[in-house]
Structure 1
Amino acid sequence: MVFYAYVKNVADNWSYRYVITFASREVADEWWRAVSTSAVTSFVNSVQRINAQYYTHNPSLANATETLVTAGVATQFLGKVFFTLENDIGGRGLSIIPSPDQFTDHISGNSFFIRSKVAPYDYWYYPSSNATNAVYISRTERTRFTVSRVNSDTSGTVIIGSDNIAITLTTVNLSVNVNATTGQVILSPAPLSGLTFSALLSNFIVGPSLVENGENVKELLYTENGEQWELV
């Protein structure tokens, strides 16, 4: 589904205002990663992300629209992103972009609940009394996890699908891992090696129902072709 954002000129209140149309939310975050890490410093200094649907730029340094046609910036997104120039102010209108009903910005180092996109009442849950260290699915309880890029000095950056991540309890230094024999999701002192953000959103599946410490829960399993999950 297409995703929209504004970009505004930081030097004045009337010129070089655009609506950006991205092929998807994921493309928006990947475009921003390319721009913000580009070796072309004029774009790094010009284009700033205020939030997922609002950017600023300084056209005297570099115009955000040129990211798609300037070598070394974000030319790989030419067919996935386009800019629409807005009217200047003075009584003329500004396009109102649609905003998702619920929106979570995927910022490294922030904490989230993790729930099913198909059944949004199913949440990842880690009971405080848990002999097996297993993570379960619950419809009555939920546990908050910190999701972080594993690269150093990346706290506060936007996470994209190809990033290696660690999913850690917010209260104890235990991270999501997988039992190699059963595929059951567990917590351990060492995070699951090679886990990417895209895998978090697609490589886990709800398993059989069971009772854990008197609570009705379901197993959470890791698989190559899983269900869709989201951070909230």
Structure 2
Amino acid sequence: MVFYAYVKNVTDNVTYRYVITFASRAVADEWWRAVSTSAITSFVNSIQRVNAQFYTHNPGLANAPDSLTTNGVATQFLGKVFFTLENDLGGRGLSIIPPLDNSTENISGNSFFIRSKVAPYDYWYYPSSNATNTVYVSRTERTRFTVSRTNTGTSGTVMIGSDNIAIALTTVNLSVNVNTVTGQVILSPAPLSGLTFSALLSNFMVGPSLVENGENVKELLYTENGEQWELA
């Protein structure tokens, strides 16, 4: 689904105001990664991300739309992103972009609840009294997890699908891993190797219902053809 953001000229309140249309929110985050890590320093210094739907730029250094046509910046997104120039302030016109269904920022190192996109009342849950270290899905309980890029020095950056990540409890030094025999999601001292952010959002599924310590829960399984999940 298409995703929108504003870009404001940081040097005045009149000109170079844009609405950006991205093919999806994932494309928006990937475009930002390409721009913010570009070797073309004028774009790195010009374009700043305030939040998922608001950017600033300094057209005297680099004009944000030119990121799509300047080699070494973000030309790979030319067919997935476009900029619409708004009226200058005297024209009073400004397109109103729709609000987000989920405003959570996917920032590395932050803690989140993890819930189903199809059934948003289904959350990942780790019971405190859990002899098998199994992670479940619950409609009445939820557990916070810290989701972080595994690359050093990346705390605070926006995560994109190709990033290798680790998912850990916020209170105990245990990370999400998988029982290789059953596919059940468990916690262990070592994180699941090779887990990417896109896999977190699409490679897990809800299994059969069961009762754990008197609580009605469901199994959480790892599979390549899973369900859609989101951070909350």
What's the TM-score once normalised by structure 1's chain length? 0.99
Query: How do 1:25-36 and structure 2 match up within 5 A?
Result: 25-36=25-36
**Distance (whole Å) between structure 2 residues aligned to residue 145 and residue 86 of structure 1:** 40
Question: Which residue number in structure 2 is paired with residue 173 of structure 1?
Answer: 173
Q: Gaps (5+ residues) in structure 1?
A: none
* DSSP 3-state at the match of 2:90: coil
Q: Which deviations, in whole Å up to 9, do the C-alpha atoms of 1:152-185 show, x marking residues without a partner?
A: 0111100000000000101111100000111000
Over 6 Å off, 4+ runs: none
Question: Which residue number in structure 2 is paired with residue 86 of structure 1?
Answer: 86
2:126 maps to 1:126: yes
* Greater CA drift, 100-109 or 160-169: 100-109
2:58 maps to 1:58: yes
* DSSP 3-state at the match of 2:198: helix
**Distance (whole Å) between structure 2 residues aligned to residue 46 and residue 35 of structure 1:** 10
Q: Which deviations, in whole Å up to 9, do the C-alpha atoms of 1:173-226 show, x marking residues without a partner?
A: 110000011100000011000000000011001111111111111110000100
**Distance (whole Å) between structure 2 residues aligned to residue 86 and residue 208 of structure 1:** 52
**Counterpart amino acid of 1:213?**
N
Query: How do 1:149-168 and structure 2 match up within 5 A?
Result: 149-168=149-168
Task: Give the Å deviation of 1:91.
Answer: 4.9
**Distance (whole Å) between structure 1 residues aligned to residue 226 and residue 48 of structure 2:** 35
* DSSP 3-state at the match of 2:71: coil
**Distance (whole Å) between structure 2 residues aligned to residue 139 and residue 207 of structure 1:** 14
2:5 maps to 1:5: yes
Q: Gaps (5+ residues) in structure 2?
A: none
Question: Which residue number in structure 2 is paired with residue 20 of structure 1?
Answer: 20
Query: How do 1:215-226 and structure 2 match up within 5 A?
Result: 215-226=215-226
Q: Which deviations, in whole Å up to 9, do the C-alpha atoms of 1:109-155 show, x marking residues without a partner?
A: 11110111111111100000100000001111000001100000111
Question: Which residue number in structure 2 is paired with residue 99 of structure 1?
Answer: 99
Question: Which residue number in structure 2 is paired with residue 41 of structure 1?
Answer: 41
* DSSP 3-state at the match of 2:168: strand
What's the TM-score once normalised by structure 2's chain length? 0.99
**Distance (whole Å) between structure 2 residues aligned to residue 98 and residue 218 of structure 1:** 35
Question: Which residue number in structure 2 is paired with residue 185 of structure 1?
Answer: 185
2:207 maps to 1:207: yes
Task: Give the Å deviation of 1:101.
Answer: 3.1
**Distance (whole Å) between structure 1 residues aligned to residue 95 and residue 227 of structure 2:** 36
Equivalent pairs counted in the alignment come to 232
* DSSP 3-state at the match of 1:8: strand
What's the RMSD between the two structures over aligned residues? Answer: 0.7
**Distance (whole Å) between structure 1 residues aligned to residue 101 and residue 196 of structure 2:** 26
* Greater CA drift, 36-45 or 208-217: 208-217
**Counterpart amino acid of 1:62?**
A
